[in-house]
Amino acid sequence: MNDTIYALASGHGTAGVAVIRVSGPRANYVLLKISSEPIPKPRLASLRRLRDIETGRDIDDALVIWFPGPASFTGEDIVEFHAHGGTAVINEIFSAISGIESCRMANPGEFTRRAFENRKLDLTSAEAVADLVAAETTEQRRLALAQYDGALANLYDGWRTKLTEILANTEVMIDFSDEEIPDDLNLTNKHNILCIKKIITQYIDDGRIGERIRTGFRVAIIGEPNVGKSSLLNKISGREAAIVSKTKGTTRDIIEVHIQLGGYAVIIADTAGLRETQDEVESEGVRRAQKLAEDADMKLVIFDATNFPNIDDMSKRYLDRNSIAVFNKVDIIKKPVRFEINAHEIFSISALTGEGLDSLLAFLQEKIQMRLQYAENPPLTRARHREALEAVVEALGRAENAVLPELQAEDLRLANRALARITGRVDVEDVLDVIFMDFCIGK
Ligand SMILES: Nc1nc2c(ncn2[C@@H]2O[C@H](COP(=O)(O)OP(=O)(O)O)[C@@H](O)[C@H]2O)c(=O)[nH]1
Ligand SMILES: [Mg+2]
């Protein structure tokens, strides 16, 4: 913790401006060494000539900002250099800093980790920093910002307050004799445990909305060989992501493209055509396609319109609540046809000409919006949160049925602790490395 760390906070590669951030007890010294004039006023940008005092060499003109701790992002002294974004400029600033004792390059996520350790952020806000940096779509950004602002921490802290109140009642039952406590205290307490358990159970059972927004909604394109799955993927992504060919069994691997739909991140996957085959590699491809279809949030089941009314049975099995039936190659059909498969919603398109694609995508977008919208509580965004909340529910289940108040108290404490681990209010040393590993250097 006592090292002074530095890193490029802005993106890599040549850019107009590069931001180099230094945090720690020697930030002040770094500032004096590289820019000789007096330390600038806190939090005000000052234009300075950067020069390496030891070598006497000029490095660059830069804006310098001084954030004395504890009122800084990490809680430590921070200095930021906003220099010209060239590789040589950055390297020379780095080499000037690295010459100073106990200054070293930051590890991934180390700035944010220090902010957490200095109680500037709770753990969910710290995670949200990584999400804000990684956000590619509006909804990812919106979710990350809410979490950064403490939406999850507030919710979980609120539950912790409730649990503490319940625990206080349990402690009363331990400390006082039966005559001294109201008759219904035990019942009221059980009722309260049941209520909060129900709230948390419903909260977890949300269809993984937050995780889906954060990592992407998964759509699988499936169907027989040659119906135009790869063509559709290419048309949607606007590039030749998958090989299109008249030869059946061309696609074997799963090919994924990332797109945005209505502000949501969507991962569309093209798969091997579903059929019985002797080819070992292709049949592995079919197996993967089936697995992918099962795991997907939504399936586009593609049929060849020119075969209608013959409908592939293997594909038909995938038509359910979470699938859209698509008839492709309508450009070849001369007279209009009304496609129908037992009342399932159907789109007719041409992956070749693009006909019908807009309405298919609009419909898909609507479905995704319906699945991923949330009203009241901000959704959890990570498996880590989910696991902790599952532990809370489990402990509350035991507390609810406990025969002795001592045992109830123990489980209530466990539940409280599991909640506190999400926000990092209790000792979480063991998970920190894993959490901050996901960050990039400079965050
Ligand atoms: N006329 C026409 N041909 C198509 C259409 N979509 C795909 N094809 C053709 O059908 C063949 C198989 O396409 P492909 O995308 O590889 O099908 P996949 O096996 O389902 O991935 C190729 O020759 C494509 O050019 C379409 O909408 N109209
Ligand atoms: Mg294909």
**Which CATH number fits the domain that encloses residue 64?**
3.30.1360.120
End position of a domain, from candidates 372, 389, 422: 372
Is 264 within a domain? yes
Asked if residue 409 is part of any domain, the answer here is: yes
Ligand 1 and 350: CB distance under 6 A? yes
Residue 95, φ and ψ in degrees, nearest 5 = -70, -30
Residue 234 beta carbon below 6 angstroms from any ligand 1 atom: no
Q: Is residue 241 part of a domain?
A: yes
Its pTM surpasses 0.85: yes
In a domain, 420, yes or no: yes
Residue 326 Cβ < 6 Å to ligand 1: no
State whether the beta carbon of 348 lies less than 6 angstroms from ligand 1: no
Number of other residues whose CB lies within 10 A of the CB of residue 181: 14
In this structure, what CATH number is given to the domain that contains residue 277?
A: 3.40.50.300
Instruction: Tell which of 372, 398, 427 closes a domain.
Output: 372
Q: Is the CB of 244 under 6 A from ligand 1?
A: yes
Q: Is residue 16 a contact partner of residue 132, using CB atoms and an 8 Å limit?
A: no
CA distance 416 to 398: 13
265 CA distance to ligand 2 middle (Å): 23
Task: Tell me, yes or no, whether 315 and 274 share the same domain.
Answer: yes
Q: What is the mean pLDDT of each run of 10 residues along the chain (443 residues)?
A: 91 90 96 85 94 87 96 97 94 92 94 95 95 94 96 96 93 82 85 96 93 96 94 92 85 90 95 88 90 94 92 92 94 86 86 95 96 90 95 97 92 95 83 77 79
Burial class, 183, CB count within 10 angstroms (exposed 0-12 / middle 13-18 / buried 19+): exposed
Chain centroid to CA 317: 32
pLDDT score at 241: 83
Which sign does the torsion angle of CA 117, 118, 121, 122 carry?
positive
Confirm or reject: Cβ of 226 under 6 Å from ligand 1: yes
CA of 247 to the centre of ligand 2 (A): 9
- How far apart CA 69 and CA 219 sit, in angstroms, is 47
Please indicate whether residue 208, judged by its CB atom, sits closer than 6 Å to ligand 1: no
Atom of ligand 1 nearest to the CA of 243: 16
Q: Which domain holds residue 171?
A: 126-206+381-437
Q: Identify the bridge partners of residue 48 per DSSP, sorted by sequence position.
A: 62
Q: What is the pLDDT of residue 1?
A: 61
Does the residue 184 lie in any domain? yes
Q: How far does residue 225's CA lie from ligand 2's centre (Å)?
A: 7
How many angstroms does the Cα of residue 184 sit away from the middle of ligand 2?
A: 67
Judgement on whether residues 348 and 248 belong to the same structural domain of the protein? yes
For a ligand 1 pocket test, name from 244, 248, 250 the mutation site with the most ligand atoms within 8 angstroms of its C-beta: 244
Greatest CA separation found in the chain? 88
How many whole angstroms from 352 Cα to the centroid of ligand 1?
A: 7
* Residue environment code for 260-275, b if the CB has 16+ CB neighbours within 10 A, otherwise e: ebbbbbbbbbbbbbbb
225 upstream amide cis, omega within 30 of 0: no
Overall domain count for the chain: 3
Query: Ligand 1 in contact with 271 (CB < 6 A)?
Result: no
